[in-house]
Structure 1
Amino acid sequence: MFSLQRILGQDKKFFELLEASAAEAQSSIMALKQALNNVQATPNLAAFVAPRRRDKKITNEISELLCKTFVTALEREDIEALSAVLYKIPKTVEKFAERYAITFDRVRDVDFSRHLELLERAVTLVKEMVQRLHNQDLKGLVELNAQLQKVEADGDHLIQELNIELYSGKYDPLKAIILKDLFELLERTIDRCRSAGNVMYRIALKHS
């Protein structure tokens, strides 16, 4: 026989998995910080593969749980959308790490500290927003999303500033191409965080 209590009890598991996914996103940013701060050695790609694989496993577990659950507190498409965009954060970070490792000798002297500051703020806000979603603190979630939008806007300003520098002739053509690719991947990672925030913001509006 179907147990209504068991079915409704799956909601807690969904939130736990989403929180775990956000934690893996944060782990990938921490690995990125460690790699970019160590200019003496090529980054260890295993440090980026691991959180991405763990997050993929979490994403698959969420999909399987959705197939087995008839009633959810959040709409199924919202759970799927949030799960998918959270996974894209470590996936994009891993892609950056691969490119960075390949071009390490050419870009080891580049300062990525401003990107790292924005990424750390963005992923921390995403993680906190998932927790607020779990606790049904929708007002707090909306306030955090406003902060996240500010971080994303700061990221846009940063990429504009860096593009001006790239086109100034300061770098040789190949290095300029490499840096443009790397800068855009970091900006995309910030955008992934913003997208996760947007999904949660829409959920908050639906339930307000």
Structure 2
Amino acid sequence: AVGDRAMQLLVSMLFWCALLETAKLAVLPRAPDASGNILQLLNDVAGTYWFIWAALVCFLFVKILSIFNRWSPWILFLSVIQVALAPLTFSIFPLIKYTYPFFCLGFSFAQSRDWWTSITGAYKPLLIMSASIAALVCFLAWRKDSYVYNNLALVKDMQSAKDVLLMLFGSAAASAIMSELFRQCWRVGRSNRVVRFIAVEIGQSTLVLYLI
């Protein structure tokens, strides 16, 4: 539900943001400027935890699509293209453009897990090896303008197109490797009560572990 997802994302963010601001005030006292402190707080909330805002917006967008259309991978694919081609670069929108394709990929995987498993099962070793090589090559080619903070996920010329493509392709390859790594860790540790509690009870209900 929308309310449950909002609570999972926003409550965790507000808690850790309040904790961070308290620690910053204790270590670095600020001048008594109310307006300046409020602006700084808003900037910290929007900037430091941009991934939470991006995740919430992506969730709401996919939820709206599912209301007006029955879930379809083609609808998601078209929405990814539309978001990617959107020229807006204000506020955290570039970060949403960067997050949305990965959110849709995870959403489609969750909706049709058996289909994905049947496709990747036979070619899994080859896919893992290819993704590992791709992630390593992208890591070696990574540069300052490969970060979404700098390129704003905006294609203006050939160089910016290379930066955006490197960012998306490298992130996808690295995400695939880490997903498989976590899956193998779960296979090994799921019999442990502590591991199962962290992964199932804490990991699925809040973003506390990620924020830490």
TM superposition score normalised by structure 1: 0.30
Task: Name the larger-Rg structure.
Answer: 2
Higher relative contact order (CA 8 A, sep 6+): 1
